[in-house]
Structure 1
Amino acid sequence: MSAIELLSDLQCNGMKWEGEVGLSRKGGAGPSDHKAMTLDGQTLMIPVLNLASQDSPYTGKTDPLTGKVIVSKNQIPVATLSAPARPKFYDLVTADGIPYDQIATLHSHDVLATTVLQHCIRMNGKTTACQFCSIDQSLKSGRALIRKRPDQLAEVAKAAVELDGVTQMVLTTGTPNTPDRGAEILYDSVKAIRAQVDLPIQVQCEPPNDFAWFQKLKDAGAVSIGMHLEAVSDRVRQQIMPGKAEVSLDVYFAAFDAAVKVFGRGQVSTYILAGLGDTQQEIIEMTENLAKRGVYPFVVPFVPIQGTALEHHPKPDPAFMQSLYTQIGSQLRQYGLNSQDTQAGCAKCGACSSLKAYE
Structure 2
Amino acid sequence: MIPTPTTATTRTPRTEHLINELQSFGVRLADPKAGVESRRGGAGPSDHKAITIDDTTVMVPVHTAPAADSPYVAEAPDAAGRSRILRDGVALASASFPKRPRFYDLRTADGVPYWQVAQLHGRDVLATTVLQTCVRYQSRTKTCQFCAIGQSLAAGRTIARKTPAQLAEVAKAAVELDGVTHMVMTTGTPPGKDRGAAILVESAVAIRAAVDLPIQAQCEPPDTDDWFPRMRDAGIDTLGMHLEAVTDPVRRRIMPGKAQVPLSRYFDAFAAAVPVFGRGQVSTYILAGLGDAPADVLAVSERLIALGVYPFVVPFVPISGTPLENHPAPGADVMDSILRPLSAMLRRSGLLASGIKAGCGKCGACSALSSYERRAAA
Is 2:28 the counterpart of 1:13? no
CA distance in 2, matches of 1:254, 1:63: 48
Describe how 1:196-235 pairs up with structure 2 within 5 A: 196-235=210-249
Greater displacement, 8-17 / 180-189: 8-17
* Match of residue 253 from structure 2: 239
The match for 1:262 among 269, 276, 282 is 276
| Alignment size in residue pairs | 359
User: Does the 8 Å contact 1:31/1:45 carry over to 2?
Assistant: no
Is 2:311 the counterpart of 1:275? no
Cα offset, 1:55, TM superposition: 2.4
Cα offset, 1:322, TM superposition: 1.0
Aligned to 1:26, the other structure's residue is in SS state coil
* Match of residue 11 from structure 2: none
Cα offset, 1:108, TM superposition: 0.3
User: Does the 8 Å contact 2:24/2:330 carry over to 1?
Assistant: yes
CA distance in 2, matches of 1:8, 1:36: 14
Is 2:173 the counterpart of 1:159? yes
CA distance in 1, matches of 2:346, 2:84: 34
CA distance in 1, matches of 2:256, 2:75: 39
Cα offset, 1:157, TM superposition: 0.1
The match for 2:309 among 273, 292, 295 is 295
Cα offset, 1:70, TM superposition: 2.8
Q: Mark the CA change 1:4 to 1:21 in structure 2 (over 3 Å): closer, same or farther.
A: farther
Question: Which AA in structure 1 matches 2:302?
Answer: E
* Match of residue 322 from structure 2: 308
The match for 1:320 among 328, 334, 342 is 334
Question: Which AA in structure 2 matches 1:181?
Answer: R
1:129-163 Cα distance to aligned partner (Å, 9 max, x none): 10000111110000101000000000000000000
Aligned to 1:152, the other structure's residue is in SS state helix
CA distance in 2, matches of 1:183, 1:171: 11
* Match of residue 195 from structure 1: 209
Is 2:360 the counterpart of 1:346? yes
User: Does the 8 Å contact 1:25/1:31 carry over to 2?
Assistant: no
Aligned to 2:75, the other structure's residue is in SS state strand
1:99-150 Cα distance to aligned partner (Å, 9 max, x none): 0000000000100000000000000111101000011111000010100000
Describe how 1:139-150 pairs up with structure 2 within 5 A: 139-150=153-164
Question: Which AA in structure 1 matches 2:29?
Answer: W
User: Does the 8 Å contact 2:168/2:206 carry over to 1?
Assistant: yes
Is 2:41 the counterpart of 1:27? yes
Cα offset, 1:317, TM superposition: 0.6
Question: Which AA in structure 1 matches 2:40?
Answer: K
User: Does the 8 Å contact 2:29/2:76 carry over to 1?
Assistant: no
Report the TM-score when normalising by structure 2.
0.93
1:230-283 Cα distance to aligned partner (Å, 9 max, x none): 000111101110000011000000000000011011000000000011001111
User: Does the 8 Å contact 1:14/1:47 carry over to 2?
Assistant: yes
Structure 2: runs of 5 or more not aligned:
6-14, 374-378
Structure 1 stretches of 4+ moved >4 Å: none
Aligned to 2:319, the other structure's residue is in SS state coil
User: Does the 8 Å contact 2:54/2:94 carry over to 1?
Assistant: no
The match for 1:48 among 62, 76, 97 is 62
CA distance in 2, matches of 1:85, 1:269: 29
Cα offset, 1:65, TM superposition: 3.6
Aligned to 1:188, the other structure's residue is in SS state helix
Structure 1: runs of 5 or more not aligned:
none
Is 2:355 the counterpart of 1:356? no
Describe how 1:79-98 pairs up with structure 2 within 5 A: 79-98=93-112
User: Does the 8 Å contact 2:45/2:319 carry over to 1?
Assistant: no
CA RMSD of aligned residues (A): 1.1
Aligned to 1:136, the other structure's residue is in SS state helix
Cα offset, 1:64, TM superposition: 4.4
Greater displacement, 2-11 / 222-231: 2-11
CA distance in 2, matches of 1:203, 1:107: 15
CA distance in 2, matches of 1:54, 1:233: 32
- Sequence identity, in percent? 56
Aligned to 1:101, the other structure's residue is in SS state helix
User: Does the 8 Å contact 1:19/1:61 carry over to 2?
Assistant: yes
Report the TM-score when normalising by structure 1.
0.98
